[in-house]
């Protein structure tokens, strides 16, 4: 496995490669850092008894949404230790009192974002704070002990639980992360000391601040990935930016010293994703149809209610019988479906319509293959057996914005029925494509003809793109607006 980190003045992009193909993509615009994991001092703006929820002003464009079940009951016994289920890693549910008994309008409280906002929804928040370290997660408001559900060995789970009991001294909760498997109490102590100190500083800021206030912002994307993902499965981490590389190595030496040597600075500045074929995979992930090697294909349609995935034989005609052809297509589709779910970060309700098979054992084999493939997914998911109509339903937890929402926007040409590339995405594509044609324009200059909105962006918010191109070409880059061009279309010519 490889980890690719590409950074420029506008954004950081990270890709996870498994067997040479991207399985996960992360993106963060520097001007719009994600909010998941941030801790805020908020103020309750409205109570909604009918929904057992409240709106809380945390300083974002939309008020955040807080369910009653995500409110820590201050009347509950905070000294009562809760232990996670040894099989599932889930904590037992607490008894939930009515939201109107828990909160009042105008009340201030410390909350953490657990889900990113959507275009029509505010962020989802919780008063149960979680502060992740390398090996453990500190739960400063919840007296719970748990072990990551991805650590499956019962003996190891029990050993880690006993270690947590030994280390727990202040009544606060702890969860062992997947990276903590095989680690000792000494490995955890540094994490716990750092996180305890961090929580103390958050409490101190909360005591001095008025709402709404950002009390704590998580690491930027590059360091979060190093903290959360870097393990022995990754044989190489490639970073194309020297500053990001230096920070990543320094951070890795603190959290995982023996793996710091796997981090390398590459000379593929701005072309790392292109070199490993990630750029083309991102473009393909914005399309609904995905071709399989056999000639079959899957169609992915994202709607507000659910994600529908359909499997088709396409050009694949098989060699023996229809049942064997269908089985082979479905088998190939399973692996690609799960990869696309992870790559696009699809979430919520996902319905898969495999091609009908007449033999029960074949249907069972496909379902078991899907379950096995889903074990690769880090996001929490639950899959149900095929329905009487042959549909397979699964749910997948959402924590961040998916690839489509990050790279596209609602399309004004079709009255919001579809989506189009975001202005930021087009500006950065122009940069990458013109750099690919560097030899053609170097020393001569280039004329970029694009939609007026794109030209305006390149003169203002993305003027650094033009400066970078002029430095690379050693010549002037001119912009020409053409209102007849589609928003996503642009042309290059020598100036």
Answer yes or no: are the C-beta atoms of 296 and 329 closer than 8 Å. yes
Mark whether 321 and 438 lie in a shared domain.
no
Answer yes or no: are the C-beta atoms of 290 and 284 closer than 8 Å. yes
Residue 54 inside a domain? The answer is: no
Q: Give me the pLDDT at residue 209, please.
A: 87
- Does the structure show a pLDDT above 80 at 90? no
Spatial distance between the Cα atoms of 346 and 403, rounded to a whole number of angstroms: 8
Q: Give me the pLDDT at residue 152, please.
A: 87
Spatial distance between the Cα atoms of 5 and 272, rounded to a whole number of angstroms: 8
- What does DSSP say about strands 236-239 and 263-265: parallel, antiparallel, or unpaired? parallel
Answer yes or no: are the C-beta atoms of 459 and 479 closer than 8 Å. yes
Mark whether 145 and 234 lie in a shared domain.
no
Residue 408 inside a domain? The answer is: no
- Does the structure show a pLDDT above 70 at 448? yes
- Does the structure show a pLDDT above 60 at 75? no
- Does the structure show a pLDDT above 50 at 469? yes
Mark whether 205 and 330 lie in a shared domain.
no
Residue 405 inside a domain? The answer is: no
**Domain that includes residue 367, residue range:** 286-396
Mark whether 156 and 206 lie in a shared domain.
yes
Answer yes or no: are the C-beta atoms of 46 and 55 closer than 8 Å. yes
Q: Give me the pLDDT at residue 88, please.
A: 56
Residue 53 inside a domain? The answer is: no
From start to end of 8-135, where are the E strands? Answer: 11-18, 21-29, 39-48, 53-57, 64-67, 82-83, 108-115, 124-126, 131-132
Q: What is the pLDDT of residues 181-220, one digit of tens each?
A: 999 999 899 889 989 999 999 999 999 988 999 999 989 9
Q: Which residue, 32, 111, 104, is CA-closest to 64? A: 111
To the nearest whole percent, how much of the chain has pLDDT over 70?
94
Q: What is the pLDDT of residues 110-146, one digit of tens each?
A: 999 998 887 778 999 999 999 999 899 999 988 889 9
Q: Give me the pLDDT at residue 92, please.
A: 64
Average pLDDT for residues 65-71, to the nearest whole number? Answer: 92
- pLDDT, averaged across the chain: 89
Spatial distance between the Cα atoms of 123 and 52, rounded to a whole number of angstroms: 16
What CATH number has the domain bearing residue 453? 3.40.1260.20
Mark whether 248 and 175 lie in a shared domain.
no
pLDDT band at 76 (very low <50, low <70, confident <90, very high): very low
The residue among 163, 189, 216 that closes a domain is 216
Q: Please, what sign has the CA dihedral across residues 325, 329, 332, 338?
A: negative
Mark whether 243 and 360 lie in a shared domain.
no
pLDDT band at 77 (very low <50, low <70, confident <90, very high): very low
Mark whether 469 and 430 lie in a shared domain.
yes
Mark whether 465 and 379 lie in a shared domain.
no
Residue 55 inside a domain? The answer is: no
Spatial distance between the Cα atoms of 147 and 221, rounded to a whole number of angstroms: 25
The residue among 164, 183, 216 that closes a domain is 216
Q: What is the pLDDT of residues 18-39, one digit of tens each?
A: 999 999 999 998 877 788 899 9
Task: Choose the weakest-confidence range: 3-7, 401-405, 464-468.
Answer: 401-405
Q: What is the pLDDT of residues 385-397, one digit of tens each?
A: 998 888 999 999 8
Average pLDDT for residues 469-482, to the nearest whole number? Answer: 93
Mark whether 268 and 292 lie in a shared domain.
no
Residue 52 inside a domain? The answer is: no
Residue 40 inside a domain? The answer is: no
Angle at 66 between CA 63 and CA 69, to 5 degrees: 175
Q: Please give the torsion angle defined by the CA atoms of residues 476, 477, 478 and 480, in that order, rounded to the nearest 10 degrees.
A: 170
Mark whether 268 and 299 lie in a shared domain.
no
Mark whether 101 and 80 lie in a shared domain.
yes
Average pLDDT for residues 306-313, to the nearest whole number? Answer: 94
- Does the structure show a pLDDT above 90 at 398? no
Residue 417 inside a domain? The answer is: no
Q: Which residue has the higher pLDDT, 487 or 95?
A: 487
Q: What is the pLDDT of residues 266-293, one digit of tens each?
A: 987 878 999 999 999 999 998 999 999 9
In the chain, the number of structural domains is 4
Q: What is the pLDDT of residues 143-181, one digit of tens each?
A: 889 999 889 899 999 999 999 998 987 778 999 998 899
Mark whether 70 and 212 lie in a shared domain.
yes
Question: Distances in Å between the alpha carbon of 309 and those of 126, 359, 414?
Answer: 32, 22, 23
- 20, two tokens: 């040479």
Q: Which residues contact 388 (CB under 8 A, 6 or more apart)?
A: none
Spatial distance between the Cα atoms of 24 and 340, rounded to a whole number of angstroms: 9
């Amino acid at each position: 496995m490889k980890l690719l980190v590409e950074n420029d003045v506008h954004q950081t992009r990270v890709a996870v490669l498994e067997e040479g193909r991207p399985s996960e993509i992360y993106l963060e615009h520097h001007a719009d850092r994600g909010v998941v994991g941030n801790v805020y001092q908020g103020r309750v703006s409205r109570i909604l008894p009918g929904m057992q929820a409240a709106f809380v002003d945390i300083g974002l464009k939309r008020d955040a949404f807080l369910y009653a079940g995500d409110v820590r009951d201050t009347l509950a016994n905070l000294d009562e230790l809760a232990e996670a289920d040894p099989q599932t890693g889930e904590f037992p549910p607490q008894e939930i009192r009515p939201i109107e008994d828990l909160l009042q309008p105008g009340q201030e409280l410390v909350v953490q974002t657990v889900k990113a906002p959507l275009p029509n929804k505010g962020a989802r928040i919780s008063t149960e704070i979680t502060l992740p370290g390398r090996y453990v997660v500190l739960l400063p408001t919840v007296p719970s002990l748990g072990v990551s559900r991805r650590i499956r060995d019962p003996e190891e789970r029990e050993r880690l639980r006993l270690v947590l009991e030994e280390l727990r001294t202040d009544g606060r909760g702890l969860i062992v992360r997947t990276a903590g498997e095989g680690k000792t109490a000494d490995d955890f102590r540094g994490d716990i000391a750092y996180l305890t100190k961090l929580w103390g500083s958050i409490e101190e800021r909360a005591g001095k601040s008025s709402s709404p206030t950002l009390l704590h912002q998580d690491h930027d994307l590059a360091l979060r990935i190093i903290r959360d993902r870097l393990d022995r499965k990754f044989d190489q981490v490639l970073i194309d930016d020297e500053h990001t590389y230096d920070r990543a190595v320094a951070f890795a030496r603190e959290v995982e010293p023996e793996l710091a040597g796997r981090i390398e600075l590459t000379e593929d500045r701005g072309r790392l994703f292109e070199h490993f074929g990630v750029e083309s995979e991102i473009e393909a992930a914005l399309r609904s149809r995905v071709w399989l090697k056999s000639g079959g294909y899957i169609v992915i349609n994202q709607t507000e209610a659910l994600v529908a995935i359909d499997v088709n034989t396409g050009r694949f005609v098989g060699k023996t019988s229809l049942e064997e052809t269908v089985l082979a297509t479905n088998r190939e589709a399973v692996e690609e479906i799960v990869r696309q779910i992870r790559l696009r970060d699809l979430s919520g309700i996902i319905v898969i319509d495999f091609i009908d098979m007449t033999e029960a054992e074949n249907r069972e084999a496909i379902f078991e293959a899907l379950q096995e493939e889903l074990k690769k997914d880090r996001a929490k998911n639950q899959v149900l057996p095929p329905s009487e109509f042959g549909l397979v339903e699964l749910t997948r937890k959402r924590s961040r914005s998916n690839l489509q929402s990050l790279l596209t926007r609602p399309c004004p040409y079709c009255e919001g029925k579809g989506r189009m590339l975001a202005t930021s995405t087009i500006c950065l594509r122009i940069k990458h494509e013109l750099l690919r044609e560097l030899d053609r324009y170097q020393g001569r200059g280039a004329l970029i003809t694009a939609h007026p909105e794109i030209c305006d962006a390149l003169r203002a918010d993305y003027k650094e793109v033009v400066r970078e191109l002029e430095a690379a070409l050693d010549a002037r880059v001119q912009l020409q607006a053409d209102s007849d061009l589609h928003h996503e279309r642009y042309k290059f010519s020598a100036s």
